[in-house]
Chains A and B, each alone.
Chain A
């Protein structure tokens, strides 16, 4: 009896230690002229040490806002964290002061954005921009920081790093700039990298290279990755666990294999069916399936399930109340009554 309880407590403590980031019931709303937009409305998700969590969903589902809120990079106002907690290594960062947040940014959590073309400051060399982070968090001198910046460029496979470190962003292509952004985000060896659609703005061939670099860097530095994307294929290749978001809420959460093999939420099923498949395309002349309808307005979301209006299995009780996230098998949670 006592033994069993100790064992249970131990696994509980181990789970907490493994958990790097724990977002619970996060609500981020934005004030507009028309009222409050509930961009993120009760999202719970966690990232373990060293894992890659894929966060998928279509544009406007709240995945970027969730990611930006972890570093408190959303503009407040108009944005506001209405409710919920964000525990980073056991500490809630929602009440932290701006100065305390600054010591977490880049040092403990790095972030890469969607648009490499506009994410770098055009008037400083890429080396200066990477060195800036190193000088701030690692206390390096000018020379040492520039040397480390060149090393970082080498790690992300930029050819001729010691010369390229003195080049300006406009002298780099989009893919190369995204490598610079990754080098910058990882320069202080953070424990978590948030990648907000890092490949969306890039050519398909470059996308694969960038993902490869991210996987390689993850292994080398032993960090966790929160990969935000709308491409199911990207998730299948890189993530261990997946969170599917829809209209500001989590629709489904599962290990990657389980999600693709046994999707429970009709929205997830729709997403998987909408992936173009090259192997069957030649033999079966099937049209690519799209999910009919569009995302509900987050100004005044429906009372019931937010996917009900587009769901092929909709039932009367779906319209009454939002189905809670329930565990259907270990690690597999779904917000659907089916």
Chain B
């Protein structure tokens, strides 16, 4: 098991290298230049500009620049943001916890909706509960987050004036009131992301449970004299969760993508909004670092899914 995880982590290294090569090449080919501003500034003489470019290595060929970046990364030097004028790793460490808390809570919320609702609906197919759950789930995952987000802001912030619509990471104070302010400003982004994901997963959990519930071994469990509740939890859910784990892990990249949009709507200062600002400002080191961090997170979630998968299904062995 430990060996398996270690080996998987080692396999992740070539994937990350491959990802970084592609990212770097795409960014190098992309139009735009962090020195555009200097180029149009008449106060900077052309020879000074050229000297600056040369000293930063911007005129080197792509592969030379890539290896410079790679060796710097290996030394722990993530680069320097042209725009914010601070180290990239500091910038990311500032932003990442916010994103992880918002995304993490929203995914937990999504699972807390999808698992009980999906399982309950599947054990009573075509009942009133199932039909209502299905309809709501259909509506929920048909509405994009940028639409529900704005709807939430209109209703809860502007009309009812219950929740703030701008997320602030620098709320003054401490203790319970400070914590409460954080909770209040997190409710809407977490709810928007979580409800959307929960709606999609509810439908998936329902169909996964329906697939398992008609299998022979469920009849075997019933023939043993077990209570329905025990059958559902012990024999049905454990098996139905196997495909759900795959889906949850596979939807992680999409979740990060969706979080970028949601972070923009609610002005959440996470890495999503950092990425958007960096792209708009041609801040290459930041773009590179943020996309790289997201890649690492996605790979980690896939590894977590594989470990969970093996724990749920004994037919899969860690080899």
Contacts and interface: CB of A to CB of B under 8 A. Distances in A.
A115 B313 contact: no
B100 to A, nearest CB: 31
Given A113-B216, A119-B216, A132 B224 contact: yes
Interface string A93-112: 00000110111111100110
B105 interface: no
Interface string A142-179: 00000000000000000000000000101000000000
Nearest to B241: A123
A115 B216 CA distance: 8
Contact of B216 (A101, A118, A137): A118
A98 B222 CA distance: 11
Given A121-B235, A122-B315, A106 B217 contact: no
Given A119-B217, A123-B314, A102 B225 contact: yes
A7 interface: no
B312 to A, nearest CB: 7
Contacts of B314: 122-123, 125, 168, 170
A115 B238 CA distance: 21
Nearest to A68: B219
Give the size category of A's interface with B: 20 to 34
B315 A170 contact: yes
A25 to B, nearest CB: 25
A66 to B, nearest CB: 15
Nearest to A74: B219
B239 A123 contact: yes
Given A118-B216, A168-B315, A170-B315, A123 B238 contact: yes
A121 B225 CA distance: 15
A194 to B, nearest CB: 9
A105 B224 contact: yes
B219 A113 contact: yes
Contacts of A99: 227
Contacts of B315: 122, 168, 170
B239 A122 contact: yes
A102 B215 contact: no
Nearest to A72: B222
Given A123-B238, A123-B314, A170-B315, A133 B217 contact: no
A315 interface: no
B177 to A, nearest CB: 47
Interface string A65-99: 00000010100000000000000000000000011
A73 B219 CA distance: 7
B220 A119 contact: yes
Contacts of B313: 122-123
Contact of A107 (B220, B225, B312): B225
Contacts of A17: none
Interface in B85-137: none
B215 A118 contact: yes
Interface in A27-74: 71, 73
B122 to A, nearest CB: 14
Q: Which 3 A-B pairs have the closest CB atoms?
A: A105-B225, A118-B216, A102-B225
Given A102-B227, A122-B239, A132-B226, 17 more contacts: A98-B228, A102-B226, A110-B223, A111-B223, A113-B219, A113-B220, A118-B217, A121-B217, A121-B220, A121-B239, A122-B313, A123-B238, A123-B313, A133-B224, A133-B225, A136-B225, A170-B314
7 contacts: A73-B219, A73-B222, A98-B228, A105-B222, A118-B217, A119-B217, A122-B314
